[in-house]
Structure 1
Amino acid sequence: MKREDRLNFIAQFIRENEIKTQEELVNTLLTHGIDVTQATVSRDIKSLALIKVPAESGGYRYDLPKNKEVLQSSLHKALAFDAITGTKIKDNMLWILANPGTTSLVKNYLLEEYSDDIFSIIIDDDSALVIFEMEEDAKNLYNLLTRIL
C-alpha cells in the first residue's frame, strides 16, 4: 500500500474508532492487511499531526486536528518531503532531486509555504531548481532538508 493511501486509511480509521496507543494502531493496520512497523506508524502519526484527546472510556485517544487546513498542510508537507531524495545549494539557488513524477507536489508545497521567499521554481520529472530572493532563504530550506534527509 502506498504511503498516501495508508495515511488516508489511518485518518479515516481514527475518525471512526478509538485508538489509544501506537501499538493498538500497528495491530489494527496489520489486521487490515497493511504491513507496517511501529517506526512507520510513529512517522505516520507525526505526518498526520495526530493529537491526543480525552477518550470516552477514560485515558486518551488519537484524534485528527480539528482544523482541516492543519491536517492537509501536514499531509502535503509529509508527502513532499518524502518525495525528496537529494539536494544541493549554490548561492540563492537550491537544486532538489525527487522521485520521478513528484516534483509538482514538491513545487506546490514550496510555493504554499515559502512563496514570499521564492523568486521562481523550474521543474522537470525528477528535479526542481528553486531560485530564492535571498541566499539566506535558500540556506534555511537547505538546512531543513538536509536534517530530514
Structure 2
Amino acid sequence: MNTARRRQLIEQMLRSRSAQSQHEIAAALSARGISITQATISRDLAALGALKGSGGYVLADTGGRSDGETESVLESIRTHSLSIRAADSIVVIRTNPGHANVLGAAIDMRLPTGVVGCIAGDDTLFLAATSRAVAQRLATRLTRAQNSEH
C-alpha cells in the first residue's frame, strides 16, 4: 500500500473517532489487511498533524485559523507544555516527554505569522522567529494559551 492511501485511511479513522494508542491504529489497519510498523504510524501521525491528548490521537483542526494557529494546537499547548520562553529570536517550548515532535508537526503545518521554522525533539521545541520582538509576542500569546482554562 502506498503512503498516501495509508495516511488517508488513518485520517478517515481519526476523523470518525480518536485512537488511544498507535497500537490501536495498527490493529485497525491490520483488520483491513494492512501490516504497518509503529515507526511508520508515528511518521504518518506527524505528517497528518495528529495530536495526542487525554482522549487519544486526534487530527488537528484545520478550520477557523487565527494568525496561523488553530484551537487544536492551542489545546495541545495547554495540555502538554510545561514551559514557554523566548530566547532572543527563538521560542522554546518544553513539553511532556514524547509530545514535542507531534506538537511540532502540527505547528509546522500552520506556522504562526513571523515563525520561519520549527525543530522538535522528544520534549523540547524551538520555534525560530523573524525577530526578538516576534518571539516575545509569540511566547506571550502561547503562555496565555497554556495558562487558560478554555
TM-score normalised by L of structure 2: 0.46
If asked which structure has higher relative contact order (CA below 8 Å, sep 6+), I would say: 2
Q: Which has the larger radius of gyration?
A: 1
